[in-house]
Amino acid sequence: MADLQKADLQKQAHALDAADGLGRHRERFVLDEGTVYLDGNSLGALPAHVPARMADVITREWGELRIRSWDESGWWTAPERIGDRIAPIVGAAAGQIVVGDSTSVNVFKAVVAAARLSADDRDEILVDATTFPTDGYIAESAARMTGHRIVPVDPAGMAAAAGPRTAAALVNHVDYRSGRRHDLPGITAALHAAGALAVWDLCHSAGALPVGLDAHGVDLAVGCTYKYLNGGPGSPAYLYVAERHQAAFDSPLPGWNSHSDPFAMTPGYEAAAGAVRGRVGTPDILSMLALEAALDVWDGVAIEDVRAKSLALTDFFLECVRAYVPEGRVTSVTPEAHDERGSQTALACENAPAVMAELIKRGVVGDLRRPDILRFGFTPLYVGFADAERAARVLAEVLADLPA
């Protein structure tokens, strides 16, 4: 690569970082010097204050207070309290999100509940044909359980596919392979026009871009917290139930935690009011409170600013890739249009597993989706423009050293 071109892009990166209003948040995370971490779309970086918080949870709340912490430390109300912390990030009013269980479990709750909320003569559930596999597996099981049939549909055709037999649709907001952002407002409106409910998977959008659950009339939504929300490996997922559906929300997993009087221990189940209906059993308190502490990094951060930086980062990364990587060695499968892009860049590349392994050895950490996709996730709270430039430059060096 030409030294002048390299110097120009590096100078541009430093100027962009100097003007970055979110750049100061980087120091709030544990990051290795000399490593470019572009895998926050799989596992977010550790917020630096979380270990001290967890030490207090373990030594004082658990070690000293023990059972008293369910009341005195607020353990019992953590699922709703933390849900209210997530709510503004995804554009929801308080009282509609409960945290707990895995994404898969919450997908099951949401799809079954959506089927039960729909009219009896609606017997099909549309499913994003490009979805993360587990969503498809869960949806198929939910359909068998409720007497519905699954209809796989490309998200681009979801609006046209919805009809008088459609009960609900399960759609990903951002495609996990390509980073393509699907039209949440348009698809939701089309489903409603057909008399169906919209269930959205927000795993690759929450914390990366505005979602607008309330503004766009989404019915139910689920999402993980260990990606852009930095909750930690296996941190609990969340379930959004729009307020208008809460009274009729019929969970397929009625547990004692969602009972209207959980400590009565009665044999008959009576659901609690509100989003609490989405709870099941005893929550994982250690992971739950680690997530709560991690969410502190969002205090004072506007999701619109995060989105603006995300788009600027991915634009700049693609500019550097075009400048540094010989033509034909990689092809972006992430849309160029801003309104069709999430916060990752996916590059099709021959011998992708070997390329990514070498990138990681050289300090650029991304990931891949077999057989040929290199994924680079841009988490704006701690990734900068110099990171994007270095990642593209090292990619070019790796490709130069590996056979085409």
What distances in angstroms separate CA 400 from CA 47, 324, 355, 396, 404, one per listed residue? 36, 10, 11, 6, 8
Q: Which of 108, 132, 382, 385 is an active site residue?
A: 132
Q: Which of 201, 219, 284, 387 is an active site residue?
A: 201
HSE-up of 277 (CA within 13 Å, CB side)?
24
Question: How far apart are the C-alpha atoms of 158 and 374, rounded to whole Å?
Answer: 27
- The answer to whether the CB of 356 falls within 8 A of the CB of 395 is no
Question: How far apart are the C-alpha atoms of 333 and 322, rounded to whole Å?
Answer: 14
First to last CA, the chain: 17
Residue 132 designated active-site:
yes
Contacts of 169 (CB under 8 A, 6+ apart): 125, 126, 127, 128, 153, 158, 162, 187, 191, 196, 197, 198, 199
Q: Which of 29, 108, 176, 226 is an active site residue?
A: 226
Q: Which of 180, 181, 329, 375 is an active site residue?
A: 375
Residue 113 CA, chain-centre distance (Å), reads: 21
- Six-digit token string for 344: 């990752």
Residue 387 designated active-site:
no
Name the nearest CA neighbour of 238 among 360, 80, 392.
Answer: 80
Q: Which of 109, 122, 180, 227 is an active site residue?
A: 227
Name the nearest CA neighbour of 286 among 64, 109, 53.
Answer: 53
Question: How far apart are the C-alpha atoms of 314 and 59, rounded to whole Å?
Answer: 42
Residue 189 CA, chain-centre distance (Å), reads: 22
Helices (H) and strands (E) in the chain, counts: 12, 13
Query: Does 155 sit behind a cis peptide bond, omega within 30 degrees of 0 on the bond before it?
Result: no
Dihedral of the CA atoms 397, 398, 401, 404 (nearest 10)?
-110
Residue 227 designated active-site:
yes
Contacts of 66 (CB under 8 A, 6+ apart): none
Q: DSSP secondary-structure letter at 61?
A: I
Active-site positions read 132, 201, 226-227, 375
